[in-house]
Chains A and B, each alone.
Chain A
């Protein structure tokens, strides 16, 4: 969508402490194969991501990402380093076996023992890639979308949307 709006990959916004992302990526890669340390790595990587986002508080997109990441982090930390996934008919669409623990190191099955179930991976999204989304994922997707727009030098300030609301409701009320 950024390309449709005519942006280019020119300006990289100045993020502070961007180097934090390197160990984060490293940890997540390391946790891919089955590891006894995987939960710990995932939790710590989420903590670092949160710190990175918090430091870059001044960007609007980062704040959205922060909300989403915080929601996911809360669920993951409370459930011992892995994200609970709701098992239902939806899940069988892309995961034939019900053995989740072999498929992914940082997910587990949602049960009555899982904490903060509201924020877990409970929504089935069939398009574009069949996947289970969580509440935080929605915000991360939105934030990422806006961030890419900004990277393409066409940032979308959230206040513009507020003005959109005004135009529908009457232009007499300009501040």
Chain B
């Protein structure tokens, strides 16, 4: 339905524009106006091939100046011709489609017509300078508004946002209005003194343009610095998150997915949160796990009670790590309170209800969802539907009800590509085996050789790595003093025998590191 309206809206301009243009061309029958119209049009074309003022996203052209000049000194019809040619020149450079070209001509022509009408309406009753200013304001407002509507339709952005961006861009608006006013003044002077007045107008225009360009350049430099600062801040936060990866790849992948989900939730819920901030909060929420020992962090089985207590300190550890890093309060609260329950009973501070900052409640839901659906070494993840059911069951107790509703909507509306893009996989779930020594007789010969090949590679890499640190010539004593045992080709099994999984120790495998003592 909306697309229909948009298409009708655009088609209206595409039809109206060329019609107004044709009508203006047709009715410009006064020979005195021809030359000046053609000159103005050619100036507009030349000026648009070399746009005057370069802002980042848009360029101010001299076309606006010439339009107002034409309105004031020639006629509205010439102004329409001039602005259409200005639009056509932009279309030339940018290879815009004919339809969009017609739409642009439409909005430009309508704005010119309206401004011309205002000018002729006011010129009798108000002093000319005031009429010029009002005419310029009308032209600027109308043209910018129409351009904003077209842009917001084409890019699918809300109209309010586009308007805020365009009107709020002060250098742009300033440049637009001032060049148009110069055009109006040039027109007035032309009416009084004829062609010779163009010199003064040109000087005024060049001067103004120089000042505006200076200001725009400064604004661009400041914007560049701001971008750079933001980029470095993001980079440093991301490197913090990568630190987790060095300890535990599972947590890193988990953090990435939680961050992406949290960002989606923020965009969905529109609770006045900055999505980037929530993304970083999700990325860093488990950073406290850096301080958890490997025996607990990487344990493939269930945790015992004492280990659980240590694990439950990771929110506090994370907040301590980040306290002096300059991250915002929102991120700190996510790190510290993402395991709190809304009904009370969570850790570390046993907060409840509205005491828990909303950011933390949001990331908590995303965290729980990902934990439920991902596979652990000791249990398989549950399906997405089951996970959502569990979230709904605990809504109001552990989770904030509104966040749960939002995540249900988000997950149900996500396509498979989006899930894959976030970091989930759709590989088939394998049976999860407990980590025990596999008896050798159950492996085939190929599997045994494969296992032993992997172990040899690992050992070789380790030896090569450590060999760099050894004094020249190598020494088994160095190895023993540093690592407490002699180097070995095969890891020790729990019953004391040295054997690769499934490989008999008596089988002679090629010796990789000559000079090291072999058991």
The chain A residues found within 8 Å of chain B, CB to CB, are 57-58, 60, 63-64, 67, 74, 86, 112, 115-119, 122-123, 135, 138, 158-159, 161-162, 164-166, 168-170, 172-173, 175
Contact = CB atoms under 8 A, between A and B. Distances in A.
A175 B56 contact: yes
B38 A173 contact: no
Nearest to B28: A118
Contacts, number: 76
A58 B56 CA distance: 26
Interface in B18-68: 22, 25-26, 28-29, 31, 34-35, 37-38, 41-42, 49-56, 59
B178 interface: no
B28 A117 contact: yes
B52 A123 contact: no
A119 B29 CA distance: 11
A118 B93 contact: no
Contact of B25 (A74, A165, A173): A74
Contacts of B55: 173
A138 B42 contact: yes
B54 A173 contact: yes
A152 to B, nearest CB: 21
A175 B55 CA distance: 9
Nearest to A172: B217
A164 B220 CA distance: 19
Contact of A173 (B29, B88, B95, B220): B220
Interface of B: 22, 25-26, 28-29, 31, 34-35, 37-38, 41-42, 49-56, 59, 81, 88, 91-93, 95, 209, 213-214, 216-217, 220-221
SS class of chain B's interface: helix, strand, loop or mixed? helix
A118 B92 contact: no
Contacts of A63: 91-92, 95
Nearest to A168: B50
Most chain-B Cβ atoms within 10 A of its Cβ — which of A63, A161, A170?
A: A170
A143 B31 CA distance: 27
Nearest to A54: B98
B221 A172 contact: yes
A86 to B, nearest CB: 8
B25 A118 contact: yes
B95 A58 contact: yes
B220 A162 contact: no
A165 B50 contact: yes
Looking at A63, A86, A162, A173, the one whose CB has the most chain B CB atoms below 10 A away is: A173
A118 B34 contact: yes
A122 B95 CA distance: 30
Nearest to B42: A138
Contacts of A60: 92-93, 95
Nearest to B33: A118
Contacts of B88: 67
Contacts of A116: 25-26
Given A63-B92, A170-B214, 15 more contacts: A57-B95, A60-B95, A63-B91, A67-B92, A115-B26, A138-B42, A158-B49, A161-B50, A162-B59, A166-B54, A169-B52, A169-B209, A170-B54, A172-B220, A173-B56
A12 to B, nearest CB: 21
A112 B41 CA distance: 23
Contacts of B51: 162, 165
A172 B221 CA distance: 7
Contacts of B53: 169
B151 to A, nearest CB: 17
Given A67-B88, A117-B34, A172-B217, A165 B26 contact: no
A5 B404 CA distance: 68
Contacts of A135: 38, 41
A158 B48 CA distance: 11
A165 B42 contact: no
B96 to A, nearest CB: 10
A158 B476 CA distance: 72
